[in-house]
Amino acid sequence: MADLYDGRHMWGFTEKDIKNMKAKKARVERDDDLNKLLQFFRECKANNEYFYWDVDADPKIGVLKNIF
């Protein structure tokens, strides 16, 4: 890319900008990941009657301990 723009100094963004964009994308993908996983398991069960999954949660403190 540096060859296309006659060097890095001609880019319209910095390496820090790229790192920030990657971090933002990772946060977006991570949002709601538990619900995405549970939905995936539900779909697997709908497509395969032998698929088994369960969760181990502590309702007192609202924490999910294990998914298996």
Contact 18, 1 (CB under 8 A): no
Using one digit for the tens of pLDDT, what is the confidence trace for 1-10? 555 556 666 6
pTM for the complete prediction?
Answer: 0.56
Domain boundaries, the chain: 1-31, 33-68
Q: How many angstroms separate the CA atoms of 47 and 54, rounded?
A: 16
User: How many Cα atoms are found within 13 Å in the side-chain-facing hemisphere of 14?
Assistant: 3
Rg (CA), the chain: 21
Q: How many angstroms separate the CA atoms of 54 and 68, rounded?
A: 5
Using one digit for the tens of pLDDT, what is the confidence trace for 12-55? 778 888 899 999 988 888 888 888 899 999 999 999 999 999 99
